[in-house]
Amino acid sequence: MLTEMPHAVIALLLSLSAAGPGGPWADAVYLNGDFYTLDPRAPHVEAVAILEGRFLRVGSREDVAGAIGPRTEVVDLGGAFVLPGLVDPHTHPSFEAEEPFHFEAGVPWDWLRRHRVFGRWLIPTRARRVGALADATRIISSYGITSFGDGCVEPEILPLWQELLRRRAPAQRAVFFVRALGPRRSPALRSAAQVVQIAGRQPLPDVRFGAKLWVDGYFWDQSAALDAPYQGARGRGGLTVAPAVLERLVGELDRAGFPIQAHAIGERGVGAALDAFEAARRGRAGPGPQHAVVHAHLVRPEDLPRFAALGVAASLDAYLAQPAVRDAVGRALGPARRERYLPFRALREAGALVGAHSDWASASMSPFLGMYVLVTRRSPGHPERGALGPGNAITLAQAIRAYTLDNARLLGMEREVGSIEPGKSADLAILDRDLLHAPLEALRDVRVRATVFRGRRVYDGAELPLRLARSERELVDLGNAH
């Protein structure tokens, strides 16, 4: 637990404050920490002062002493390791309001609807759906995440978020990506004007809007668009819509100023997404919104440098880059393509902005399990099974940067979050161990002691709601069982 500073120490600091440089008094000061700031000018500091939700001072104990006033909360971190608030650019908390009983009843909501299994305890009341969103935000805070992208938002969910955020202050900031083009089985194309209307209909605090497009499908049903046929099959998947339709929609959304997350998994799908972004860029004067190809499980070698050239980011599934998925990927792709799977390192070396996401709740939200997989390409539960595509492993410092500054850039938030610097939002993830000096295997067991959002503690290490905590453990266990 975090501890309040003893009164005698506070008195000493106040005396230093009186003798030190003047300036406004902080609302809170955190001392005796090991802050890994992600600011190259001062990568490690021991104290921060916070005023009105932003970092006022960052540095040594003496540097922040001048900001301690009679009403400043002074917190002794006891040497704890601290990161900037973490960022997950592609997750799905809104799905919890669509399937609120997946965890509670153990049966997916779509199965219940399909089989017409209804009862009073299963009816998705508005209160239950809002409660499911509240539980999802607590899960997010429990992992030190203070900013996220919701990867597919439908307009009917927005009033539920509005109700939740009327009841309590936000615990994260977010970009909600409204579905503009669905998967091939139900594309439901929306124009840029319709996305504008949806985004303006339900204003939400600390929420900006973008657009989500499905360019192709998935490996598991052989709908992701490949260049060559699937292993042992004739088909090679397909695009959701014709390239001309995709280019027109991307151009409209780009001109309207919406950042786009384009779901593309196969190399042909990734190439089509890049073609559409390139066409949009040709019709634009100056920089536009930060677009991203999401998933990008396979990328043609010639397409790797196009990301940087076009200013398009790549957001990849951190947790899936492990042998737990080796058999499924191998069956679908064969051994040669499997080695190119989730090319984190190849994209980075080609100069791309590369982020890492969880895609929760289809995988664990834990950024620390994600970091472990990015660095080792091994399964957290069964490291003895070897690595999947070890040539695309990255360093721990790069993995931490992915979950902080790089993900912040990917969501267009880098001026606000991603590092601990004066003037930025006071977002912190206070951890139970030093990530930089602990053994890599220790990443599998990292716990968050506290999460701070805009200077306010929104998570203090307390137990999570039982049903969601159980579901999260099951996701980890399922991932390790393959």
Q: CA 210, 456, 475 angle in degrees (round to 5)? A: 60
Q: CA 462, 468, 472 angle in degrees (round to 5)? A: 95
* pLDDT tens, position by position, 404-463: 999 999 999 999 999 999 999 999 999 999 999 999 999 999 999 999 999 999 999 854
The residue-averaged pLDDT of 284-306 equals 94
Burial of 76 (0-12, 13-18, 19+ CB in 10 A): middle
- Among all chains, which residue has been given the structure tokens 């932003």? 54
Lowest mean pLDDT across 141-155, 186-200, 237-251, 299-313: 186-200
* Cβ proximity of 46 and 8 under 8 Å: no
* Cβ proximity of 418 and 355 under 8 Å: no
Query: Per the confidence metrics, is the pTM higher than 0.85?
Result: yes
* pLDDT tens, position by position, 8-56: 444 444 444 443 455 689 999 999 999 999 999 999 999 999 999 999 9
Pairing of strands 81-84, 34-36: parallel
Q: Which residue has the higher pLDDT, 112 or 177?
A: 177
* pLDDT tens, position by position, 226-237: 999 999 889 999
| pLDDT band per the 50, 70, 90 thresholds, residue 7 | very low
State how far the Cα of 218 lies from the Cα of 452, in Å rounded to an integer: 36
Question: To which H or E segment does residue 354 belong?
Answer: strand 354-357
ω into residue 361 within 30 of 0, thus cis?
A: yes
The superfamily (CATH) of domain 86-418 is Metal-dependent hydrolases (3.20.20.140)
The CA-to-CA distance between both ends of the chain, in Å, stands at 36
- Is the confidence at residue 106, as pLDDT, over 60? no
Compute φ and ψ for 231, nearest 5 degrees.
-55, 125
Q: Mean pLDDT of all residues in the chain?
A: 86
Radius of gyration of the chain (CA): 23
